[in-house]
Chain A
Amino acid sequence: DTGVSQDPRHKITKRGQNVTFRCDPISEHNRLYWYRQTLGQGPEFLTYFQNEAQLEKSRLLSDRFSAERPKGSFSTLEIQRTEQGDSAMYLCASSSPSGQDSGNTIYFGEGSWLTVV
């Protein structure tokens, strides 16, 4: 499978616990994105990496959220001290460098569902 993969697909956690999601982008893609999608809404941008550099962060990304992409390959999104409002699907996406033939397409993974109880 050469698509974007995310792990775990589902996570149920108690309020106050920390959770971490992992994303493996398409191998030749240097750009990686995290989005959050709540029920009945479209995805909302959280953050964006080009290689290992985190270039953009949304105001939605509070201090409890941290994302890393240490070697410019896979990425992790950690949520500390989870709250019920964090319950959502967390989508990862990747794309190739701008200007290449496929640079116009951003490919998404299947998402990681988080339920905070």
Chain B
Amino acid sequence: AQKITQTQPGMFVQEKEAVTLDCTYDTSDPSYGLFWYKQPSSGEMIFLIYQGSYDQQNATEGRYSLNFQKARKSANLVISASQLGDSAMYFCAMSPKYNAGNMLTFGGGTRLMVKP
């Protein structure tokens, strides 16, 4: 069974500063995918970034980067230069296959609040 743990229920960050959201996972599968999603108050889950278990380099997408430490089973999300619009719930998730295409297991989420 797969499990995702997000230990930070809420985080504050000053606008324009960087912030790291923690995510640890547990799986016995050698092949898996890791995702981060943003959920604003409107409810839609917005895909941010993906990391495959066999990827050698950390994934980056614009202001988002994923700090993948396989030995520690962690997949932290780093948001650089925070903006007010980044205030939302953030969910870490994993899929049982490297190429996704299968069900996701989500963590409990972290609420990020960006202060002006």
Contacts and interface: CB of A to CB of B under 8 A. Distances in A.
The 7 closest A-B pairs by CB, nearest first: A42-B106, A108-B45, A98-B101, A98-B99, A45-B103, A110-B44, A111-B43
Contacts of A35: 104
A103 B99 contact: yes
A104 B45 contact: no
B108 A41 contact: yes
Interface residues of B, number: 27
Contact of B43 (A33, A48, A89): A89
A97 B102 CA distance: 10
A99 B101 CA distance: 9
Interface residues of A, number: 29
Interface in B40-94: 42-47, 50, 52, 91, 93
15 contacts: A42-B4, A42-B91, A56-B102, A58-B103, A98-B97, A98-B99, A103-B101, A104-B52, A104-B99, A104-B100, A105-B50, A107-B47, A109-B44, A110-B42, A111-B44
A93 to B, nearest CB: 7
A106 interface: yes
B101 A43 contact: no
B43 A110 contact: yes
A95 interface: yes
Given A41-B108, A110-B44, A111-B43, A103 B37 contact: no
A42 B6 CA distance: 10
B105 interface: yes
A31 to B, nearest CB: 6
Contact of B101 (A31, A44, A91): A31
Nearest to A111: B43
B106 A33 contact: no
Given A42-B93, A97-B101, A111-B43, A104 B50 contact: yes
B104 to A, nearest CB: 6
A42 B107 contact: yes
Contacts of B91: 42-43
Nearest to A55: B102
